[in-house]
């Protein structure tokens, strides 16, 4: 039996967000055309939230998938929730509106539902997305005022370019910096961070809930284990015996258990797959409910394992992952 997959949560600005989103980043060896195919399948099987970013180099293809699914009558624009992100080389307040307009043009959209600051740290602006010096070292920008970036996002919301604004990869201190900004007009609606049973973010989740900020989880299936930035010797989340045993009871896969776990604790989940069978599998998480005992068992496998730690960013003074949370 098909169950309704368009379940939404209310955000602190009055807009709503679907609890499950489709992740669109794929490693560089995956052709961008695959992004378009996968996004169309995702919409066909019921995903109504698409998580994108300028950084993913596929805004054109994702935009095309959305347009085709609107044109063939599968969805209306207002039923689809699109998230975009401001990459760290665009941390120039007076250029942000025009950058957002550029992304909208590439996407063929006239607004984004949500726009996030991708990372709290800034990189040298105006050139490549990963600016490096002659020694191959990434060039940071350490003079950027995050509050000024936030004000530029507030202006994008007021201009109607984006409906809601939020952050990604912010720690508690960085969230507080925005929340305590004098003259704050809009609070971030969410903080998108890595979140799965091996890094369950219980402290950050509690902090976000107490401030009416939603936590959106990425790498909820244990990440795509990119060879350049994920430790290949780290344990594979979806091979965890607890997730397998629980899944067996409900006739669900470890991936479905990992997704359902987040939904039941109030976390927005972003799941990436470009494989048709697995895309279908990932949306089938609304026809079962984990018992509170099983939720506790999953809480018990937390091991503070961060797959996406990105050592090349770690020397930046605004690198978020040195604080406990
Ligand atoms: P993920 O969603 O945890 O994992 C995706 C990996 O799991 C892929 O290798 C996928 O391979 C596989 N997979 C998917 N469904 C499966 C299933 N049912 N059973 C078994 N394997 C399955 O992690 P992610 O790719 O790191 O992140 C997902 C999305 O989160 C990204 O696309 C992006 O939108 C967002 N993200 C944001 C940030 C940020 O800084 N804000 C950082 C990382 C990610 P196949 O494609 O082959 O199925
Ligand atoms: C190169 C460029 C390395 C993955 C960017 C690492 C990685 C952001 C995703 C992402 C980065 C990064 N993703 O969606 O899977 O750490 O900024 O959003 S990154």
pLDDT tens column, 217-276 = 999 999 999 999 999 999 999 999 999 999 999 999 999 999 999 999 999 999 999 999
From the CA of 131, how far away is ligand 2's center (Å)? 14
Which numbered atom of ligand 2 lies nearest the CA of 23? 14
Buried b (16+ CB within 10 A) or exposed e, 44-83: ebbbbbbbbbbbbebbebbbbbbeebbeeeebeeeebbbb
Ligand 2 in reach of 220 Cβ (< 6 A): no
Give the Cα separation of 235 and 279 in Å (integer): 23
Identify the residue whose C-alpha is closest to ligand 2 atom 13. Answer: 25
H or E segment at 60? Answer: helix 59-71
- Asked if 266 contacts 9 with a C-beta cutoff of 8 angstroms, the reply is yes
Q: What is the pTM of this model?
A: 0.98
Ligand 2 in reach of 288 Cβ (< 6 A): no
Q: How many CB atoms lie within 10 A of CB 134?
A: 5
Name the residues annotated as catalytic: 56
Ligand 2 in reach of 309 Cβ (< 6 A): no
pLDDT, tens only, 103-114? 999 999 999 999
pLDDT of 214 reads 99
pLDDT > 80? residue 204: yes
Ligand 2 in reach of 57 Cβ (< 6 A): no
From the CA of 219, how far away is ligand 1's center (Å)? 5
- Asked if 172 contacts 325 with a C-beta cutoff of 8 angstroms, the reply is yes
Identify the residue whose C-alpha is closest to ligand 1 atom 11. Answer: 273
pLDDT of 315 reads 95
Provide DSSP, 91-136.
--GGGHHHHHHHHHHHHT-S-EEEEEES-SSEE--SS-SS-B-TTS
Give the Cα separation of 51 and 27 in Å (integer): 15
Enumerate the H helices of 126-221 as residue ranges: 146-158, 172-179, 202-210
Which numbered atom of ligand 2 lies nearest the CA of 85? 18
Give the Cα separation of 280 and 273 in Å (integer): 9
The closest ligand to the CA of 24 turns out to be 1
pLDDT of 4 reads 86
CATH 3.20.20.100 fits 8-314, yes or no: yes
Q: Span 64-75, mean pLDDT?
A: 98
User: Burial level of 267, CB count in 10 A (0-12/13-18/19+)?
Assistant: buried
Ligand 1 probe mutation, 23, 166, 188, most atoms within 8 A of CB: 23
Ligand 2 in reach of 184 Cβ (< 6 A): no
Which numbered atom of ligand 2 lies nearest the CA of 130? 2
Q: Span 179-205, mean pLDDT?
A: 98
- Asked if 9 contacts 107 with a C-beta cutoff of 8 angstroms, the reply is no
C-alpha 240: how far from chain center? 23
pLDDT, tens only, 286-319? 999 999 999 999 999 999 999 999 999 999 999 9
Identify the residue whose C-alpha is closest to ligand 2 atom 19. Answer: 310
From the CA of 215, how far away is ligand 2's center (Å)? 18
Give the Cα separation of 145 and 64 in Å (integer): 35
pLDDT of 306 reads 98
Average pLDDT, the chain: 97
């Amino acid at each position: 039996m098909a169950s309704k997959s368009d379940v939404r949560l209310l955000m602190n600005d009055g807009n709503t967000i679907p609890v499950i989103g489709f992740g669109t980043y794929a490693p560089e060896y995956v052709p961008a055309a695959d992004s378009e195919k996968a996004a169309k399948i995702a919409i066909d099987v019921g995903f109504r939230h698409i998580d994108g970013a300028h950084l993913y180099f596929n805004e054109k293809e994702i935009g095309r998938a959305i347009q085709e699914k609107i044109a063939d009558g599968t969805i209306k624009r207002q039923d689809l929730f699109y998230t975009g992100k401001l990459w760290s080389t665009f941390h120039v307040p007076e250029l942000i509106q025009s950058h957002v307009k550029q992304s909208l043009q590439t996407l063929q959209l006239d607004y984004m539902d949500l726009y996030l600051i991708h990372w709290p740290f800034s990189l040298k602006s105006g050139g490549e997305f990963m600016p490096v010096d002659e020694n191959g070292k990434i060039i940071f920008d350490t003079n950027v005022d995050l509050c000024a970036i936030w004000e530029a996002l507030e202006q994008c919301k007021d201009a109607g370019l984006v409906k809601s604004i939020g952050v990604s990869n912010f720690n508690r201190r960085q969230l507080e910096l925005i929340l305590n900004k004098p003259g704050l007009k809009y609070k971030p609606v969410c903080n998108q961070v890595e979140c799965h049973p091996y890094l369950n973010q219980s402290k950050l989740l509690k902090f976000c809930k107490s401030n009416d900020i939603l936590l959106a989880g990425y790498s909820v299936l244990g990440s795509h284990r990119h060879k350049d930035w994920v430790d290949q010797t780290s344990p594979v989340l979806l091979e965890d015996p607890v997730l397998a045993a629980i899944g067996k009871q409900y006739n669900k896969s470890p991936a479905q258990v990992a997704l359902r776990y987040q939904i039941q604790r109030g976390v927005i989940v972003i799941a990436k797959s470009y494989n048709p069978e697995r895309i279908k599998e990932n949306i089938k998480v609304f026809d079962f409910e984990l018992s509170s005992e099983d939720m506790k068992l999953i809480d018990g496998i937390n091991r503070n394992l961060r797959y996406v730690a990105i050592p090349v960013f770690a020397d930046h003074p605004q690198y978020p992952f040195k604080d406990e949370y």
